[in-house]
């Protein structure tokens, strides 16, 4: 096998973002172009103009984490369909940051892994935040939430999620205050309705605007009657999915229309 | 394709010819997203999956035909909504487009 497969498989294993464009219909079926942000392309789709346009589109698709078929003229012209190119994007895994090394964290971390997230557990208390207690987490960080977000907050985007599970204002308030300044797609915080009310009061006192507080899904999770940490984790990840897909999560049986 | 790399490497080391089938498009509901991949080697061994088990058997047949030169690399469609579709359907009612090619790139 050649250099395209070699570079593609290496990037997949190293979790380096990579996009593989393949001609699936047109004059050169099977021709390939491998695109990596910040590196030279490898291979060719058979035409320099087509390569240039597909490289640009592949980088954009990679950013959005999307894979799909696009159509071009044989020299890369838009609004033509001489060539169909399948662009397979392998973006870095989305991240799930869980603040609070509590019992619920273990189940949520496991659920997050199941859904393909890179899971980070963070707690300032080093007796709780140990790799031994959270072997499924990709990273266990002993630090204050705001300090972790100072470091990695700029990496967080629409595909990522932050869950605040400590329900202790000493940790919750700095975590939420730092998280609302990021572009993270989902932000949820655990606690009863009363805890949520008092926390919102504190968030207002430290200067958060109403629209920033409104970003926080609290009390966290969908209303499915979950009780145990395991059930609660299901309710939280279900809310993360519904939030991303902008659904309101009724039963499929009682609705109509497309499932996906 | 990450989940089938170990099998691909193993087959490559024993000089097996291999066909890779990748989901490139889904219409309606489909169990796997674009990029899901399965591979078939010349002995008919399979790695990975492209649906919930609905079309894998048919893909093996197509892959072996490709290795025997009876068909070229290209898109194969399975589903209910397409008149051209093969007899094998998806239980979820969607249509799935796969791109099949020999792994020689």
* Beta-carbon separation of B34 and A86 below 8 A: yes
**Residue A249 buriedness (CB in 10 A; 0-12 / 13-18 / 19+):** middle
Count other C-beta atoms under 10 Å from residue A98's C-beta.
28
Strand blocks (E) in chain A = 18-25, 32-35, 42-44, 68-72, 83-90, 95-99, 118-123, 139-142, 161-164, 186-189
Count other C-beta atoms under 10 Å from residue A51's C-beta.
20
Query: Distance between CA A230 and CA A112 in Å, rounded?
Result: 12
CB B81 within 8 A of CB B25: no
Q: Which domains, ranges and CATH numbers included, belong to chain A?
A: 3-90 (no CATH), 95-245 (3.40.50.720)
Q: What residue numbers bound the domain in which B71 lies?
A: 2-102
Tens digit of each residue's pLDDT (9 = 90 or more) over A31-43: 999 999 999 999 9
Q: Chain A closest CA to B87's CA: distance in Å?
A: 23
User: Comparing C-alpha atoms, which of A134, A25, A21, A108 is closest to residue A74?
Assistant: A25
Q: In chain B, how many domains are there? A: 1
- The pLDDT of residue A254 is 87
* Beta-carbon separation of B5 and A4 below 8 A: no
| Low-confidence stretches of chain B (pLDDT beneath 70) | 80-93
The interface pTM score, or ipTM, of the predicted complex is 0.89
> With a CB-CB cutoff of 8 Å, which residues 62-91 of chain B face chain A?
72-75
Tens digit of each residue's pLDDT (9 = 90 or more) over B12-32: 999 999 999 999 998 877 778
Query: For residue A1, is pLDDT > 60?
Result: no
């Amino acid at each position: 096998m050649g250099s395209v497969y070699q570079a593609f498989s290496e990037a997949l294993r190293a979790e380096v973002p990579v996009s593989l464009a393949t001609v699936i219909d047109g004059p050169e079926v099977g021709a390939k172009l491998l695109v990596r942000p910040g590196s030279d392309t490898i291979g060719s789709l058979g035409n320099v103009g087509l390569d240039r346009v597909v490289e640009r589109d592949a980088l954009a698709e990679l950013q959005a984490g999307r894979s799909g078929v696009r159509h071009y003229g044989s020299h890369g012209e838009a609004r033509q369909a001489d060539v169909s190119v399948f662009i397979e994007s392998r973006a870095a895994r989305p991240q799930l940051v869980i603040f609070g090394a509590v019992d619920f964290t273990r189940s949520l971390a496991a659920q997050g892994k199941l859904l393909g997230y890179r899971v980070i557990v963070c707690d300032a208390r080093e007796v709780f935040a140990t790799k031994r207690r959270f072997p499924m987490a990709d990273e266990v960080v002993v630090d204050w939430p705001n300090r972790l977000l100072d470091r990695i907050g700029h990496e967080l985007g629409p595909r990522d999620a932050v869950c605040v599970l400590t329900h202790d204002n000493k940790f919750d308030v700095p975590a939420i205050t730092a998280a609302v300044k990021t572009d993270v797609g989902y932000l949820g915080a655990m606690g009863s309705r009363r805890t949520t009310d008092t926390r919102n009061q504190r968030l207002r006192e430290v200067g958060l605007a109403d629209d920033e507080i409104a970003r926080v899904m609290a009390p966290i999770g969908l209303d499915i009657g979950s009780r145990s940490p395991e059930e609660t984790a299901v309710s939280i990840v279900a809310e993360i999915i519904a939030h991303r897909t902008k659904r309101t999560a009724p039963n499929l049986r009682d609705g109509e229309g497309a499932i996906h | 394709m990450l989940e089938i790399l170990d099998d691909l490497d193993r087959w490559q080391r024993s000089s097996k010819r291999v066909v890779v089938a990748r989901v490139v498009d889904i219409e309606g509901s489909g169990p796997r997203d674009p990029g899901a991949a399965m591979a078939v080697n010349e002995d008919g061994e399979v790695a990975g999956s492209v649906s919930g088990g609905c079309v894998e058997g048919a893909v093996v047949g197509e892959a072996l035909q490709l290795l025997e030169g009876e068909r070229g690399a290209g898109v194969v469609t399975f589903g209910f909504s397409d008149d051209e579709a093969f007899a094998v359907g998806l239980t979820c009612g969607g249509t799935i487009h796969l791109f099949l090619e020999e792994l020689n790139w």
